[in-house]
Amino acid sequence: MGVQGTGKDEEKESLLSPGPPLPLPPEKEATVSGRRTRLTWWLANASLFAANAIFGVGNVVSRLGLSGLNPVLFALVREAIAGPILCLAAAFVGLRKGGGGMIPKREDWWRFLLCGLGLFTTNFCYIIGVKLAGGTAASLWQPSQPVLITAAAVALGYERLSMLKAVGILIAVTGCVSVIAVPLILHEDDSSGSGSGSSAGSQNPFYGNILFFVQCSGAGGFYVAQKPLLPHYPPVIVLGWSYILASVGMVVCAVVVNEVSKDLLNFICHDCNGNGWHFPSGAIFAVTYWILLGSIAAYWFNTWGNRHVNVSLVGAYTVVQPMATIVASQILIAASEPPHFHLDPLRWSDLTALIIVVGLSAVLTDARKKPASLPGEPNSAKSEDGSDVGDTVDADARSTALSVR
């Protein structure tokens, strides 16, 4: 009797228990996944905006704190500190995943090597190019990045080039060039309209401009090479390995420049007085900014954003940099006494930065449209906003969203 009574009680409890939750109807499941991917898409755009704003402010920071510092030593310190920090973060992420995913698979090593090479190229060539050709030339070259990145993405079959996207990038690039070139054409002063530094007194503009072309190509290669890795590895792991590989190259270059050839050191850094290892105390703030914000935060923002949007949009956001430089310069001028760190005042010609906003708006409008998936495209599951679904939604929600698309 006791056994039978227990059986009836269990049967009654099973009838009263709520049981597993019922699956949502396909329409509601698709709505939920669509909201998630829309939020992720907007967060990715915010990340890309923040990253390039940090880079833009970094132009002002560099002008304030890097005078007299060997650019190769600056790049070495930046990467040698940022790399291990990112690798520790990658190890933490790997432990949370049960130890898996931190070490790249054998078939992916060549892509990680390309990422490291691209990061080394852009950091090394940019900082030396500024020393040789000045900040004005550097600002003029940076708008080429969205063009190079988009061209590489289209050539490799990662995305299609629409008319609206092409026109938007062209308008934004025109705005960037106008911010720099119009003050020079109007002879408003001898420095960059964005406050990024003057080309006057530059050591060797010819070789500096060659380095800027290589730098912009390296930046495009870095973001395009990491795109196929991001669906399979967390952004911090991709970025950590990229920095470690780039640091190896920077150590070799620092030794060659500082120890092997004094002529090369004098060519790169005429104000080092023959000592390429000297680190002036006035550069501590600038280097700290570039380690914590310019290297770790900004590159993580860009890498995470690259995981969830088309890679051409990553390039398009580089046009934010001159606007951020202008804003940072004006804030410092308003908060300081003359000569205001020799920063450039706001001029009517700076209103040409509004052209950048128009071009970027066109690119964003195109990115929100539903694109056609390309055969074999990495992470080709797309949301209705044009963003990569990736790991944002689970497999069931993703299949539901694709089935109703």
Q: Do residues 321 and 255 share a domain? A: yes
Q: Is residue 15 part of a domain?
A: no
Helix (H, G, I), strand (E, B) or coil at 388: strand
Q: Is residue 6 part of a domain?
A: no
Q: Do residues 274 and 376 share a domain? A: no
Q: Is residue 13 part of a domain?
A: no
**Residue keyed to tokens 């002529």:** 263
Helix (H, G, I), strand (E, B) or coil at 144: helix
Find all residues with CB under 8 Å of 1, minimum gap 6, and list them: none
Find all residues with CB under 8 Å of 400, minimum gap 6, and list them: 26, 29, 30, 33
Query: Measuring CA to CA, how many Å separate 394 from each of 26, 237, 240, 304, 386?
Result: 14, 21, 26, 18, 18
Angle, CA 66 vertex, CA 300 and CA 253 arms, to 5° = 70
Question: Which residues is 364 bridged to in the sheet?
Answer: none
Q: Is residue 196 part of a domain?
A: yes
- pLDDT of 114 reads 93
Q: Do residues 379 and 360 share a domain? A: no
Task: Please give the torsion angle defined by the CA atoms of residues 184, 320, 312 and 369, in that order, rounded to the nearest 10 degrees.
Answer: -120
Q: Are 74 and 287 in contact (CB under 8 A)?
A: yes
Task: Please give the torsion angle defined by the CA atoms of residues 386, 388, 392 and 395, in that order, rounded to the nearest 10 degrees.
Answer: 110
Q: Is 179 exposed, middle or buried (0-12, 13-18, 19+ CB in 10 A)?
A: buried
Task: Profile the chain (405 residues) by mean pLDDT over runs of 10 residues.
Answer: 52 51 55 71 91 86 75 87 84 66 83 93 86 68 75 78 83 75 62 42 69 86 88 86 90 88 83 84 87 90 88 81 81 81 68 75 71 40 38 34 31
Find all residues with CB under 8 Å of 40, minimum gap 6, and list them: 308, 383, 387, 392
Q: What is the DSSP letter of 382?
A: B
Q: Are 63 and 195 in contact (CB under 8 A)?
A: yes
Tokens of 169: 């990038």
Q: Do residues 241 and 326 share a domain? A: yes
Cα–chain-centroid distance for residue 208?
23
Q: Do residues 135 and 191 share a domain? A: yes
Q: Are 305 and 44 in contact (CB under 8 A)?
A: yes
- pLDDT of 232 reads 86
Angle, CA 158 vertex, CA 154 and CA 163 arms, to 5° = 45
SS3 content of the chain, % helix, strand, coil (to 5): 70, 0, 25
Q: Are 141 and 209 in contact (CB under 8 A)?
A: yes
Rounded CA separation 264/261 (Å): 5
Q: Do residues 301 and 392 share a domain? A: no
Phi, psi of 382 (to 5 degrees): -115, 145
Which of 27, 65, 99 has its CA nearest to residue 285?
65
Q: Do residues 261 and 400 share a domain? A: no
**Residue keyed to tokens 């679904």:** 389
Domain count, the chain: 2
Q: Is residue 21 part of a domain?
A: no
Q: Do residues 292 and 395 share a domain? A: no
Q: Do residues 101 and 186 share a domain? A: yes
Q: Do residues 241 and 110 share a domain? A: yes
Find all residues with CB under 8 Å of 206, minimum gap 6, and list them: none
Domain of 311 in residue numbering reads as 48-365
- pLDDT of 7 reads 55
Q: Are 89 and 354 in contact (CB under 8 A)?
A: no
- pLDDT of 47 reads 93
Q: Is residue 18 part of a domain?
A: no
Q: Is residue 3 part of a domain?
A: no
Q: Is residue 219 part of a domain?
A: yes
Q: Is 312 exposed, middle or buried (0-12, 13-18, 19+ CB in 10 A)?
A: buried
- pLDDT of 317 reads 86
Q: Do residues 293 and 174 share a domain? A: yes
Tokens of 2: 């006791």
Q: Are 111 and 229 in contact (CB under 8 A)?
A: yes
Q: Do residues 352 and 397 share a domain? A: no
Rg (CA), the chain: 25
Cα–chain-centroid distance for residue 181?
25
Rounded CA separation 116/243 (Å): 6
- pLDDT of 344 reads 66
Rounded CA separation 377/228 (Å): 9
Rounded CA separation 152/372 (Å): 18
